[in-house]
Amino acid sequence: MTYAGVKTMQASCISTIKSLMLKLRDKMPAPKTLFLVKLVAITLSLGWSVCLPAQENKYVFLRNLGMHETAIIETDADAYGKSILTSSRGNSVKLWDAESGTLLRTFFSEDKTADNLPCAISPDGSTVAFGSQKLNAYSTRSGQLIFSDGHKGERITALKFSHDGKFLAVSIRDEGLRIYETENWVLEKMPEIENPGLSRMAFDVAGWLAVVTAGELLFFDNRFNLNKSTRFENKKHPVSLAISPGGSYFAIGSWNADFPEVYDSRSLEPAYSPKFDQSLPIAGSFRHVAYSKDSRYLYAAGDARIHESRESSDTAITGSPRNDVVLGRWSSMGRGGFTAIPTGSLQVSALMALPGGEIVIGSQGPEFIKLNPAGQEVFVIRPQSNRFADDDAVKLRVNANADEVLIFYQGQPPLRFSLKDRTLEHLTDSKTRTRFGPPQQSTPNIRLNLQSSDSILLKGETVPWLEPGEKVLSGDIADHGLCFVLGSNKNIYCAGRYGDLIWKLPVHVPARYVNISGNARVLVAALDDGSLRWYDTGSGQLLLSLFTYD
């Protein structure tokens, strides 16, 4: 591993932080201020990016690396396929050159805990829009904010520009649709939708808007009056919606369906569902859908994988490695033959077709990859951070005072970071490792079975405060046995030994590892974005964040 920072930025970053810390001097004791300034300067020289809270949940500066730090959840492109827009499950939206994959501009959302950040780019490429609790529109040329509108705490679930760019449709959970006219950014209309929930939307070339919710499919005319709708017999959990270039068909990908479902746009009745020969060694689902711009193909991807090797004589699979994720391609817009395009180990989270026949795939990695029409890689953009996600060999251990942490990376000696000495080094002395105890996961009162969120037990009873769909990933019981902490894909929790919740802290990425110091005063967490974070065990207050990157 290497620890090289962005050299050209270090001097200005350190100068800026010193200036900011001087402004905060009246709010902080002088010794602590001096310590923080020195720590920032030293860690930046080590190639670490540091995020320090100036006030409660107010950060001194944002790191801006070349790639997202968390899963890509949405992609979009302008009408000419010159620019690609991606958003992540944190708070960043990035604009890329579609030809080379060069990063052009980064935008940040004010909501740093967003688990969904829809984004869209106007057909002419001049404007990007995104938002979670607040809709923001920015100029791609100047980077300046054009428009902003809040939504009373409700989450935005989808954004789409019309093909002529005159309107932006916004779907808001539990509130419905809002249609904005984009020349003057005024609210044009608020069509009613029953139980909008997690909606997906798409415009056709005539400006008609299709919306799919868990319970129904709706089609609005170009004045946003409801033209027709149909209810589903079984509730759906829509992931994606695509309209064929001619506007004849809607393809819907859902969490509770392995294959896309295609509906006729005139009748809103089911038309067909793409399938493939069940003898093919492919298992999994195709939830993300896209039509090619020339109307030849329907593409779909998800967690479908090749589960055994296959010889090249098979016309659908050409000697692909075992466990490769596949991009499915059906001819005749989904009614014809099937071809599996291997994409490696990507965990697909977004899919899009470009005008030239290329395909863009976003993943939870986070990565995004551009394929040419033949399915060959044009470029792939990967994260720069040393992430903890999906690496069972990475372990975090903390010493008695939490001023030293030990990180075990697969195939390498553990890394020791010392706050006291301000050093980062590989640790080869096995005796020193004994100062770092592993997490404790069982006492007479508490049993942390981290293989199942349903088995976090207190005296045989499941803890009552986990959210629906939440998965516990890590846990530790304090040495004195009076409290324990849990890290999940949504929150970090601290609770007393009898299960009384002391505090709950939402996180924008999963808390992969948590460890309480020996004196039980500090909790250290390793998050999937590659950051290490120190929290006060009693209050949950963030004390310090450190971030490593290559």
Residues 442-499 have pLDDT tens digits of: 777 777 766 555 555 555 567 788 887 788 888 899 988 889 999 988 899 999 888 8
Residue 276 has pLDDT above 70, yes or no: yes
Tokens of 246: 């001619």
Q: Which of the four pLDDT bands, split at 50, 70 and 90, describes residue 310?
A: very low
Domains, the chain, in order of start with CATH, read 1-65 (no CATH), 387-548 (2.40.10.480)
- Look at 309 and 125; give whichever has higher pLDDT: 125
Distance separating alpha carbons of residues 260 and 250, to the nearest angstrom: 10
313 in the Ramachandran plot: left (φ > 0), alpha (ψ -120 to 50) or beta? alpha
Residue 226 has pLDDT above 50, yes or no: yes
Please report the pLDDT score of residue 366 as a whole number.
Answer: 83
DSSP strand pairing (261-264 vs 249-254): antiparallel
Tokens 């805990």, residue located: 113
Please report the pLDDT score of residue 193 as a whole number.
Answer: 79
Distance separating alpha carbons of residues 68 and 50, to the nearest angstrom: 17
Of the candidate ranges 144-148, 337-341, 387-391, the one whose mean pLDDT is the lowest: 387-391
Residue 126 has pLDDT above 80, yes or no: yes
- How many Cβ atoms are within 10 Å of 217's Cβ, its own excluded? 23
pTM for this prediction: 0.69
* Contact yes or no for 340/319 (Cβ under 8 A): no
Residues 330-356 have pLDDT tens digits of: 999 999 999 888 888 778 889 999 999
Of the candidate ranges 55-59, 219-223, 324-328, the one whose mean pLDDT is the lowest: 55-59
Distance separating alpha carbons of residues 493 and 505, to the nearest angstrom: 6
Secondary structure element (H or E) that encloses residue 12, with its range: helix 7-23
Tokens of 361: 């795939």
**Number of helical H runs and strand E runs in the chain:** 2, 48
Residues 164-174 have pLDDT tens digits of: 999 999 998 87
- Look at 24 and 105; give whichever has higher pLDDT: 105
Mean pLDDT of the chain: 79
Averaged pLDDT for residues 202-222:
93
Tokens of 298: 């329907």
∠ CA(206), CA(265), CA(348), 5° rounding?
Answer: 90
Nearest to 126 by CA among 102, 155, 156, 147: 147
* Contact yes or no for 263/253 (Cβ under 8 A): no
Tokens 């849990």, residue located: 486
Amino acid symbol at 503: W
Residues 31-86 have pLDDT tens digits of: 333 333 334 333 333 333 333 333 344 333 445 567 777 788 899 999 999 999 99
Tokens of 532: 């290490």
Tokens of 220: 């609005």
- How many Cβ atoms are within 10 Å of 258's Cβ, its own excluded? 16
The fraction of the chain above a pLDDT of 70, given in percent, is: 76
Secondary structure element (H or E) that encloses residue 157, with its range: strand 156-161
Averaged pLDDT for residues 386-412:
72
Please report the pLDDT score of residue 152 as a whole number.
Answer: 58
- Look at 244 and 280; give whichever has higher pLDDT: 244
| CA torsion angle 216 217 220 225 (round to 10) | -20
Structure letter (DSSP) for residue 478: -
Cis peptide before 118 (omega within 30 of 0): no
Tokens of 252: 């819907």
Please report the pLDDT score of residue 271 as a whole number.
Answer: 94
∠ CA(382), CA(156), CA(287), 5° rounding?
Answer: 55
Q: What is the separation, in whole angstroms, between the first and last Cα of the chain?
A: 7
Q: Which of the four pLDDT bands, split at 50, 70 and 90, describes residue 283?
A: confident
Residue 546 has pLDDT above 70, yes or no: yes
Nearest to 280 by CA among 245, 307, 255, 246: 307
Averaged pLDDT for residues 527-538:
86
